[in-house]
Amino acid sequence: MNTIVRKVDVSLIDKTIMEEASEILKNGGMVAFPTETVYGLGADALDEEASAKIYRAKGRPSDNPLIVHISDMEQIDRLVKRVPDKARKIMERFWPGPLTVILEKSDIVPKGTTGGLDTVAIRMPSHPVAMELIRVSGVPVAAPSANVSGRPSPTQSSHVEEDLCGKIDMIIDGGPVGIGIESTIVDCTCDTPVILRPGYITKEMLEDIIGDVDVDKALMKPMSEGVVPKAPGMKYKHYAPKADLTMYHGDIKNVENKINEMTKADTAAGRKVGIIASDETLDKYPLGTVISIGKRSDEDTIAHNLYRVLREFDSLGVDVIYGETFEDNRLGQAIMNRLLKAAGYHVENV
């Protein structure tokens, strides 16, 4: 398949490109597009055949449901059985934006889109290109992250091209995304909503609006500890770079010393080492290929760079990666959730 790549100026969106893309969606095809979190791979959410194409293109397990993207609050009533009060409140506060809400699905949403579940994940993205594409196409758009299953999520168009060129109809290049990690997922089918995947919208931000919110206990633990995550996608090995990643946790001086010690031994043994550092520690590592993931003092920068840095180590062909850990408060929880998964939960205290 020939994949059309079209560049779009986000401040002046070209209508003909949006029409070309929405024709593809309406005819059961696939279009990758930027959102404020990561790039998504879109298809008509109400067309089971179109959803099936997404699973094939990504190599995604069929029990892993897709998020349905809308551009208008009015679209939601057709898609779900009911909207509980708490769900409505957080949607009103955080939409459009990086929040996904799980509700009981209506009959028009095919199980081929929801991975066989009776619930559906819904999100209204705030990126102008995503909004415009959904609006012009007039259909709810099923869109997982536009990466091959298991690889780091794409935060710029070239990442999508790397993974999916030749497998999908079109890529809309709207430049690098803003946030860089996927939306917060909140299950609103129970009295106390539960965070199934941490993201930019934190537990505290949600609790300010609706009171108590739980967090799925499985999020920060390896599956071997016997807890199965409630979001099917969170159980798969994910976000993984090709080289083995080990994270070191503790006083930052100890972390630097340990990483330097490991890097020295690996380098002597002929192994190529990558180091995930931060702006504050970049000059502390004399050996290895050192890349800063962002500023410790500004978590937004870490979220923004995270997946790009993991992909960079892939293209550099390193044999092993060592990384610092980060605080797990606020956005740090989402950052550490992704890094822990990328490391296969391999963290050592130093």
**Residues contributing to the site for ligand TXA (CB under 6 A):** 35, 37-38, 40, 64-67, 100, 102, 114, 117, 119-121, 123, 125, 143-145, 182-183, 185, 196-197, 231-234
Contacts of residues 108-113 at CB distance under 8 Å and 24 or more positions apart, as own/partner, are: 108/46, 108/78, 108/79, 109/45, 109/46, 109/68, 109/79, 110/46, 110/47, 110/48, 110/51, 111/48, 112/48, 112/49, 112/51, 112/52, 113/45, 113/46, 113/48, 113/51, 113/65, 113/66, 113/68, 113/142
Cβ-based nearer residue to Mg ion, 145 or 183: 145
Q: 202 touches which of Mg ion, ligand TXA, none (CB within 5 to 8 A by kind)?
A: none
Cβ-based nearer residue to ligand TXA, 55 or 248: 55
Q: Please, what is the minimum distance in Å from the beta carbon of residue 227 to ligand TXA?
A: 15
User: Both ends of the chain: CA-CA distance in Å?
Assistant: 50
Q: Please, what is the minimum distance in Å from the beta carbon of residue 290 to ligand TXA?
A: 29
Give the distance from CA 235 to its chain's centroid: 14
Q: 185 touches which of Mg ion, ligand TXA, none (CB within 5 to 8 A by kind)?
A: ligand TXA
Give the span between the Cα atoms of 123 and 96, in whole angstroms.
8
Per CB under 5 A, residues contacting Mg ion are: 145
Q: Please, what is the minimum distance in Å from the beta carbon of residue 116 to ligand TXA?
A: 10
Instruction: Supply φ then ψ for residue 69, to 5 degrees.
Output: -100, 135
Tell me the residue nearest to Mg ion as measured from the CB: 145
Please report, as a single letter, which amino acid is at residue 334: A
Are the C-beta atoms of residues 141 and 87 closer than 8 Å to each other? no
Q: 335 touches which of ligand TXA, Mg ion, none (CB within 5 to 8 A by kind)?
A: none
Q: Please, what is the minimum distance in Å from the beta carbon of residue 164 to ligand TXA?
A: 13
Cβ-based nearer residue to ligand TXA, 67 or 262: 67
Q: Please, what is the minimum distance in Å from the beta carbon of residue 175 to Mg ion?
A: 20
